[in-house]
Amino acid sequence: MGGTRGSAVHAVSIAAIALWALAGVARAQQPAAAASGDLHRGKTLSYTCLGCHGIDGYKNAYPDYSVPELEGQTPDYLAAALHGYRDGDRSHLTMHSQASSLSDQDILDIASYFAGKPLTPTGKPQGTVPKAAALCTSCHGQDGVAIAPIYPSLAGQHEDYLVRAIEEYQKGGRKNPIMKGFAATLKDEDIREIARYFSALRPALATEPRPYTRFSAQ
C-alpha cells in the first residue's frame, strides 16, 4: 500500500510539473508584456538596485550568499520575481522594502533594463545531466536556459545562490507551489549537485557593470 501510494504521489507531482510547463509554453507564445518596458526609465529607477546587483561577486550580508546575476534573464521572469518580493510570496526584507513602493509599470521597466539581452537556448545538454537535475531541465532547459520566458534561466548563476533559493522553497521563504513540492523531495547532496551543475553551464548569466547613481544614468 505504501509503495502504491508513493508512486501515485510521484505521478501526480510529475503531472503537475508537466501542466505548469505547458502553461509556461502557452504564455511564451503570447506577446510578452515585459516587451513594453521602458529601458531608459528602468535604468533611472534602478539606481538603488545597482548597489547590490551592479557589483560583480557581491554578497548578501546575512546569511552570506552571492547576490544573483540578472543579466541574461528574461524581463518576464524578473518582473514575476519583483512581484513576488513586493507581494510577500518571496521572503527577503531588503528586497521587499525595495519592491514595496514599485508600481506594476516600475517593475516592468526595471525588469526590462536588468534583463539586457536574454540568453538564447540551444536545447542541448552540456555533458551528462546529473540525476538530481534531470527533472529541473524540464523547465530550466537542458543547457540551463529556460524553456519559457516566465521561468528563470540558471546557466552560470552563482552556485551558493542556487542552493539558497532551493532551500527557501523547502522552508517556505518562497511560496511557488510547484517548486515547493519539488524541493521538498531533495536531500542536501541533491541540492548541491543541482547547483553545481547549472552554475557551470555556459553561456552564462552575468553581472554587467552599471552606473551606481540615478544621476549617472544615461
Q: For the chain, what percent of residues have pLDDT higher than 70? A: 79
Q: For the chain, what percent of residues have pLDDT higher than 90? A: 76
pTM above 0.85, yes or no: no
Strand partners, 66: 59
Average pLDDT rounded to a whole number, residues 28-44: 68
Q: Where does 2-216 sit in CATH, by number?
A: 1.10.760.10
C-alpha cell at 90: 518571496
Domain ranges of the chain: 2-216
Calculate the average pLDDT of the chain.
85
Q: Classify residue 102 by its DSSP letter.
A: -
d(CA 198, CA 119): 14
In the block, residue with C-alpha cell 547613481: 213
Contact (Cβ atoms closer than 8 angstroms) between residue 83 and residue 174: no
Q: pLDDT-based confidence at 36, cuts 50/70/90?
A: confident
d(CA 147, CA 153): 8
pLDDT tens-digit readout, 49-93 = 999 999 999 999 889 999 999 999 999 999 999 999 999 999 999
In the block, residue with C-alpha cell 507581494: 87
Q: How many helices and strands in the chain, by DSSP H and E?
A: 10, 2
Question: Which whole-number Å values give the CA distances from 25 to 21, 32, 55, 206, in the listed order?
Answer: 6, 12, 33, 25
Quick check: 32 pLDDT over 50? Answer: no
